Amino acid sequence: MRNYVVAIVGRPNVGKSSLFNKITGKRISIVEDTPGVTRDRIYYEIEYSGKSIALIDTGGIDDPKGNEILRQMRLQAELAVEHADVIVFLTDIQSGPVAADLDIARFLMKSGKPIVLAVNKVDSTGDLPPEIYEFYSLGIGDPIAVSALHGTGANDILDKVVELLPDGEDEGEADEEGTIHVAVIGKPNAGKSSIINKLTGEERMIVSGIPGTTRDAVDTEIVNEYGKYVFIDTAGIRRRAKIDDNIEYYSVLRANMAVERADVCLVMIDAEEGVTAQDERVAGIGHNAGKASVIVVNKWDLIEKDGKTADSYMKDVYQALAYMTYAPIIFVSAKTGQRTQKLYEMINKVYESSNKRITTGMLNDVLNDAMAKVQPPTDKGRRLKIYYMTQTSVAPPTFVCFCNEPQLFHFSYQRYIENTIRETFGFEGTPIKLIVKGRGEQ
């Protein structure tokens, strides 16, 4: 199923976040919650009318400095235009269409993207208030009345969104069959742009020692003897306390979105600094999204080494990133090019692992052997009985275990089964998802 992107845009205080919360919490199957840098939800994947939609809330940009508001609104609109298939432009009936609304409308229309015009705070029941007709002056089309407060009109907006979604594949999407999308993620100054420059052999991106130089997610296509790749260079992900302006705020959103559309993540670690708390958080973005990953320790040329340095460093990395011991580690230098070409082989390997399928028969042979070696747990005389296991999807490989009582399937035994699957079938570089269901559950 194709994933579409829909962004809610508008000036401050028109109710973008309230509408976002209503849509994601009302009568819609929430598939995935991707955490951002603020405590507010800014990115949700929903299903509506058989469509998978990534909904973006571009709220949270209100700035008390009056002369900054227009700049912030334009930044918001630019983000939506860059990524969205359809844009929901939210306005406010209480204020009417103001000059800032007209400015945003003109910008959005120049983009050529489909736009749904929504008028919020129509909280009264009955006939539509005559003020709604003033919004035709924006030149976008029929306004849809909505009350984020009461939740009315949200489905009307989604129906219109689905109507405007492009059919079939993206432009060029058919040509990308067999292409591996790689998100290069890491904290600022870890060498993300430098590694891509080395791989392409060109100075395609601005490389600087100043953290946060790269603010946009930039795609670089590479075709070589190893295959076809699209590398997505993301802005450096900073600690929350350091996100002191909206440019950094959106940089983190872009990084999350880059991971969502990637097949493989390269998690960049600065060899001189080691794994920091921020590195743990960055790596977690790819892990939580179920993406295959390679841990890339950059600037290895700056480390004094002996025969045990690499093994010791690897042990420290896995200790810090205990939830990602499945990910291979490679030590490189973007500056000298040391081992950078080996990245292609590792990317291919973890991508294949992420898309590997195991037959139900083979899985259950392994499951039965595992249960014979280590008996399933018991509780108060009740023993866990696992009837069978099957793989339901890939990227990440997802397995469903059917048993008598799911509450008996303790986490430690789940981990044992997962480790057995890894030891038998590989799956290097990819997380594995194990779902436990009781008898009769679908």
How many degrees, rounded to 5, is the angle at CA 322 between CA 320 and CA 326?
Answer: 125
d(CA 416, CA 370) in angstroms, rounded, equals 8
Share of the chain above pLDDT 90, in %: 47
**Taking each helix axis from N to C terminus, what angle separates 69-83 and 246-260, rounded to the nearest 10 degrees?**
10
Residue 347, pLDDT > 80, answer yes
Question: Which H or E run contains 282?
Answer: helix 277-288
Distances (CA, A) of 266 to 190, 195, 211, 346, 410: 12, 10, 18, 10, 32
Asked whether residue 169 is assigned to any structural domain, the reply reads no
Point out the domain boundary residue: 354, 377, 393.
354
Asked whether residue 170 is assigned to any structural domain, the reply reads no
Ranges of H-type helices in 289-404 = 309-320, 342-354, 360-373
Which range of residues forms the domain containing residue 380?
360-438
Residue 55 binned pLDDT confidence (cut-offs 50, 70, 90): confident
Residue 108 binned pLDDT confidence (cut-offs 50, 70, 90): confident
Assign residue 425 the CATH number of its domain. 3.30.300.20
- Token pair recorded at residue 426: 């590989």
Asked whether 269 and 190 are in contact (CB, 8 A), the reply is: yes
Share of the chain above pLDDT 70, in %: 78
Asked whether residue 133 is assigned to any structural domain, the reply reads yes
**pLDDT tens string 155-171:** 999 999 999 998 754 43
Answer yes or no: do 302 and 184 share one domain. yes
Assign residue 97 the CATH number of its domain. 3.40.50.300
d(CA 384, CA 377) in angstroms, rounded, equals 6
Asked whether 87 and 9 are in contact (CB, 8 A), the reply is: yes
Answer yes or no: do 125 and 253 share one domain. no
Answer yes or no: do 189 and 106 share one domain. no
- Number of Cβ atoms within 10 Å of the Cβ of 398: 16
Point out the domain boundary residue: 321, 354, 387.
354
Asked whether residue 136 is assigned to any structural domain, the reply reads yes
Q: Which of 234-248, 263-277, 292-306 has the lowest mean pLDDT?
A: 234-248
pLDDT (average), residues 88-116: 90
Answer yes or no: do 180 and 199 share one domain. yes
**pLDDT tens string 386-441:** 999 999 999 999 999 999 989 999 999 999 999 999 999 999 999 999 999 987 66
Half-sphere exposure (CA, 13 Å, Cβ side) for 370? 24
Asked whether residue 78 is assigned to any structural domain, the reply reads yes
Asked whether 295 and 331 are in contact (CB, 8 A), the reply is: no
pLDDT at 258: 78
Asked whether 257 and 43 are in contact (CB, 8 A), the reply is: yes
Residue 37, pLDDT > 70, answer no
Residue among 79, 56, 48, 57 at smallest CA distance from 163 = 48
Residue 93 binned pLDDT confidence (cut-offs 50, 70, 90): very high
Answer yes or no: do 156 and 97 share one domain. yes
**pLDDT tens string 376-386:** 999 888 899 99
pLDDT at 257: 74
Distances (CA, A) of 369 to 299, 363, 413: 44, 10, 14
Beta-carbon contacts of residue 365 (< 8 Å; ≥ 6 apart): none
Answer yes or no: do 194 and 115 share one domain. no
Residue 198, pLDDT > 70, answer yes
Answer yes or no: do 262 and 348 share one domain. yes
Answer yes or no: do 23 and 64 share one domain. yes
d(CA 224, CA 148) in angstroms, rounded, equals 50
- Provide the number of structural domains found in the chain: 3
Answer yes or no: do 343 and 195 share one domain. yes
pLDDT at 352: 96
Answer yes or no: do 264 and 382 share one domain. no
Residue bearing the bigger pLDDT, 93 or 202: 93
Answer yes or no: do 156 and 276 share one domain. no
Answer yes or no: do 87 and 229 share one domain. no
d(CA 242, CA 240) in angstroms, rounded, equals 5
Residue 184, pLDDT > 80, answer yes
Point out the domain boundary residue: 320, 354, 388.
354
Residue bearing the bigger pLDDT, 162 or 66: 162
Distances (CA, A) of 247 to 325, 338, 390: 33, 33, 45
